[in-house]
Amino acid sequence: MKGGTARIDARFAKLRAEGRAGLVTYVMSGDPDLATSASILAGLPAAGADVIELGMAFTDPMADGPSIQVAGLRALKAGISLKGTLAMARRFRQNDQETPVILMGYYNPIHAFGVEPFLAAAGEAGVDGLIIVDLPPEEDDELCLPALRAGLSFIRLATPTTDDGRLPAVLANTSGFVYYVSYTGITGAGSADAEAVGAAVARIRRHSDLPVAVGFGIRTPARAAAIAAAADAVVVGTAFTDAVRDSLDDDGRAGPGTVEAVLALVRSLADGVRGAARGSAS
Amino acid sequence: MQKPNSYRSGPDEAGRFGAYGGRFAAETLMPLILDLERAYRAAQADPGFQSEFEDYLQHYAGRPSPLYFAERLTAHFGGAKIYFKRDELNHTGSHKINNCLGQILLARRMGKTRIIAETGAGQHGVAAATVSALFGLPCVVYMGEVDVERQQPNVFRMKLLGSEVVPVGSGSRTLKDALNEALRDWVTNVEDTFYIIGTVAGPHPYPELVRDFQSVIGREAREQIIQAEGRLPDTLVACIGGGSNAMGLFHPFLDDEGIEIYGVEAAGHGIDTGQHAASITGGRPGVLHGNKTYLLQDDDGQITEAHSISAGLDYPGIGPEHAWLSDMGRVNYVSATDAEALAAFQLCSRLEGIIPALEPAHALAHVAKIAPYLPTEHIIVMNMCGRGDKDIFTVAKALGIEI
Residues in chain B: 403
Q: Give the residue from A214, A152, A223 showing the smallest Cα distance to A3.
A: A152
Residue ending a domain, choose from B144, B176, B210: B210
Q: What is the DSSP letter of B386?
A: B
pLDDT in tens, B199-257: 999 999 999 999 999 999 999 999 999 999 999 999 999 999 999 999 999 999 999 99
pLDDT of the residue at B110: 97
Q: Are residues B378 and B243 in the same domain?
A: yes
Please confirm, yes or no, whether A232 is among the known catalytic residues: no
Total domains, chain A:
1
Contact A108 B183 (CB under 8 A): no
Q: Give the residue from A185, A196, A258 showing the smallest Cα distance to A226.
A: A196
CA A98 to CA B369: how far, in whole Å?
64
Q: Are residues B238 and B152 in the same domain?
A: no
Of the listed A64, A128, A140, A232, which one is catalytic? A64
Q: Which of B20, B23, B27 to mutate to probe the A interface, most A CBs <10 Å?
A: B27
Nearby residues of A206 by Cβ (< 8 Å), 6 or more positions away: none
Task: Answer whether residue A247 is part of any domain.
Answer: yes
Task: Answer whether residue A131 is part of any domain.
Answer: yes
pLDDT in tens, B282-294: 999 999 999 999 9
A76 CB within 8 Å of a chain B CB: yes
Taking CA–CA distances from B203, the nearest residue in chain A reads A134
Of the partner residues A60, A108, A161, the one whose CB lies closest to the CB of residue B28: A161
Task: Answer whether residue A279 is part of any domain.
Answer: no
Residue type, A30: G
Q: Are residues B265 and B280 in the same domain?
A: yes
Task: Answer whether residue A280 is part of any domain.
Answer: no
Could you give the 3-state DSSP secondary structure of residue A150?
Answer: coil
ipTM for this model: 0.95
Task: Answer whether residue B1 is part of any domain.
Answer: no
Q: Which of A69, A184, A191 to mutate to probe the B interface, most B CBs <10 Å?
A: A184
Taking CA–CA distances from A142, the nearest residue in chain B reads B24
| Inter-residue contact B352 to B282 (CB < 8 Å) | no
A180 CB within 8 Å of a chain B CB: no
pLDDT of the residue at A30: 98
Q: Are residues B327 and B282 in the same domain?
A: yes
Task: List CB contacts (< 8 A) between B23 and chain A.
Answer: 136, 138-139
Burial A227-259 (b: 16+ CB within 10 A, else e): bbbbbbbbbbbbbbbbbbbebbeeeeebbeebb
Residue B373's Cβ-side half-sphere holds a number of Cα atoms within 13 Å equal to 5
Nearby residues of A251 by Cβ (< 8 Å), 6 or more positions away: none
**What sign does the dihedral B220-B222-B225-B227 (CA atoms) show?**
negative
Residue ending a domain, choose from B210, B238, B253: B210
CA B126 to CA B198: how far, in whole Å?
11
Q: Are residues B236 and B332 in the same domain?
A: yes
Residue range of the domain that includes A255: 5-274
Task: Answer whether residue A281 is part of any domain.
Answer: no
Task: Answer whether residue B329 is part of any domain.
Answer: yes
Task: Answer whether residue B328 is part of any domain.
Answer: yes
- Domain containing A140 — which CATH number? 3.20.20.70
Residue range of the domain that includes B237: 64-93+215-398
Q: Are residues B308 and B163 in the same domain?
A: no
Task: Answer whether residue B358 is part of any domain.
Answer: yes
How close A168 comes to chain B (CA, Å)? Answer: 13
Nearby residues of A5 by Cβ (< 8 Å), 6 or more positions away: A128, A129, A151, A152, A153, A175, A176
CA B302 to CA B295: how far, in whole Å?
10
Nearby residues of B151 by Cβ (< 8 Å), 6 or more positions away: B121, B122, B143, B311, B390
How close A157 comes to chain B (CA, Å)? Answer: 7
Q: Which of B16, B20, B24 to mutate to probe the A interface, most A CBs <10 Å?
A: B24
B13 CB within 8 Å of a chain A CB: no
Taking CA–CA distances from A135, the nearest residue in chain B reads B24
Q: Are residues B100 and B157 in the same domain?
A: yes
Taking CA–CA distances from B24, the nearest residue in chain A reads A134
Please confirm, yes or no, whether A53 is among the known catalytic residues: yes
pLDDT of the residue at A193: 79
Q: Are residues B254 and B272 in the same domain?
A: yes
pLDDT of the residue at A282: 43
Angle (deg, nearest 10), helices B123-135 and B152-160:
10
Residue ending a domain, choose from B210, B235, B251: B210
pLDDT of the residue at B322: 98
- Domain containing B149 — which CATH number? 3.40.50.1100
pLDDT for B151 beyond 90 = no
Nearby residues of B267 by Cβ (< 8 Å), 6 or more positions away: B276, B277, B278, B281, B335, B336, B337, B338, B340
Q: Are residues B197 and B318 in the same domain?
A: no
Of the partner residues A61, A109, A157, the one whose CB lies closest to the CB of residue B300: A109
Q: Are residues B69 and B184 in the same domain?
A: no
Total domains, chain B:
2
CA A31 to CA A72: how far, in whole Å?
7
Nearby residues of B353 by Cβ (< 8 Å), 6 or more positions away: none
Of the partner residues B22, B190, B288, the one whose CB lies closest to the CB of residue A60: B288
Query: What's the alpha-carbon Rg for chain A, to the nearest Å?
Result: 17
**Mean pLDDT of successive 10-residue segments in chain A (282 residues)?**
89 97 98 98 98 98 93 97 98 98 98 98 98 97 97 95 93 95 83 85 95 93 94 97 96 95 98 78 43
| Inter-residue contact B207 to B321 (CB < 8 Å) | yes
| Inter-residue contact B217 to B85 (CB < 8 Å) | yes
A181 CB within 8 Å of a chain B CB: yes
| Inter-residue contact B99 to B125 (CB < 8 Å) | no
| Inter-residue contact B381 to B221 (CB < 8 Å) | yes
Q: Which of A47-61, B155-169, B338-352, B389-403 has the lowest mean pLDDT?
A: B389-403
Q: Are residues B81 and B227 in the same domain?
A: yes
Q: Are residues B243 and B170 in the same domain?
A: no
pLDDT of the residue at A1: 55
Q: Give the residue from B31, B98, B242, B270 showing the smallest Cα distance to A169.
A: B31
Q: Give the residue from A175, A186, A244, A220 showing the smallest Cα distance to A60.
A: A186
Task: List CB contacts (< 8 A) between B302 and chain A.
Answer: 57-59, 76, 108-109
Task: Answer whether residue B362 is part of any domain.
Answer: yes
| Inter-residue contact A245 to A71 (CB < 8 Å) | yes
pLDDT in tens, B65-123: 999 999 999 999 999 999 999 999 999 999 999 999 999 999 999 999 999 999 988 99
pLDDT of the residue at B314: 86
Contact A108 B287 (CB under 8 A): yes
Q: Per-residue pLDDT averaged across B174-188, rounded?
A: 93
